[in-house]
């Protein structure tokens, strides 16, 4: 699968939401639940948490390396299979341009490490304005795009920010760690104003065990 962007967060009914600039409220993601050794013994929750640990561990141990054919799909596919989770092929037909399904759809407020994000035409713009006493000041703008892409959640930072592990972005890149944003926000800190704008569509999935 080529380098890309994708789908938007699901609503509370589990339906995908198309996100246009200015339509997303600020959303604070909850602190992820206990994982692995922190989970209480013997329950299905422990099995799910341990599987999430294994999913995250796979790309984390391969940062800077190329996995398989280097496609973003391949990284997610191998991470889930190695953890004993169902992959996209278990949820539907896999074609080069499909919006892959990686498990049970969850919303932004429920996302946690080990979940998978599927993107379609995703763009975020981060604009930093610095205002000097005379009213002047520089503006710095950064843009990230994922036209058709898959990434694994490593950390949930809150306020719509998520650290992901991914490969093939930009095209041909090895496994890397990047921070992406999934809700619009404006934050002021002294004379600096940071504005985040998100567009496109993306889905969040919770992998399921085989």
What is the C-alpha separation between 48 and 84, in angstroms, rounded?
10
Chain centroid, CA 94 distance in Å: 20
Q: What is the arithmetic mean of pLDDT over 123-133?
A: 94
**Confidence at residue 132, expressed as pLDDT on a 0 to 100 scale:** 87
Residue 77: half-sphere exposure toward Cβ, Cα within 13 Å? 16
Q: Both ends of the chain: CA-CA distance in Å?
A: 24
For residue 198, pLDDT beyond 80: yes
Domain boundaries, the chain: 36-206
Q: Does domain 36-206 have CATH number 3.40.190?
A: no
Strands (E) across the chain are located at 104-106, 116-130, 139-158, 161-166, 176-181, 185-189, 192-206
Q: Give 173's contacts (C-beta < 8 A, 6+ positions apart).
A: 167
Instruction: Of 45-59, 68-82, 154-168, 191-205, give the lowest mean pLDDT range.
Output: 45-59
Instruction: Of 80-94, 133-147, 157-171, give the lowest mean pLDDT range.
Output: 133-147
**Confidence at residue 11, expressed as pLDDT on a 0 to 100 scale:** 45
Instruction: Of 2-16, 78-92, 165-179, give the lowest mean pLDDT range.
Output: 2-16
| pTM summary value | 0.77
Place of tokens 């959640």: 153
For residue 38, pLDDT beyond 50: no
Mean pLDDT of the chain: 84
């Amino acid at each position: 699968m080529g380098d890309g962007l994708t789908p938007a967060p699901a609503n509370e009914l589990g339906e995908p939401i198309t996100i246009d600039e200015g339509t997303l409220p600020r959303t604070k993601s909850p602190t992820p639940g206990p994982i692995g050794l922190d989970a209480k013994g013997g329950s299905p929750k422990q099995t799910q948490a341990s599987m999430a640990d294994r999913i995250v561990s796979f790309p984390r141990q391969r940062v800077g390396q190329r996995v398989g054919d280097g496609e973003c799909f391949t990284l997610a596919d191998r991470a889930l299979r190695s953890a004993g989770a169902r992959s996209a092929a278990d949820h539907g037909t896999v074609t080069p341009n499909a919006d892959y399904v990686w498990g049970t759809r969850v919303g932004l407020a429920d996302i946690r490490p080990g979940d998978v994000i599927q993107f379609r035409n995703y763009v975020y713009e981060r604009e930093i304005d610095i205002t000097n006493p005379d009213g002047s000041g520089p503006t710095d703008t950064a843009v990230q795009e994922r036209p058709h892409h898959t990434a694994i959640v490593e950390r949930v930072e809150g306020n719509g920010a998520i650290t992901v592990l991914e490969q093939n972005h930009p095209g041909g890149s090895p496994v890397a760690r990047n921070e992406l944003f999934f809700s619009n926000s404006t934050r002021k800190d002294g004379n600096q104003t940071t504005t985040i704008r998100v567009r496109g569509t993306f889905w969040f999935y919770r992998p399921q065990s085989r």
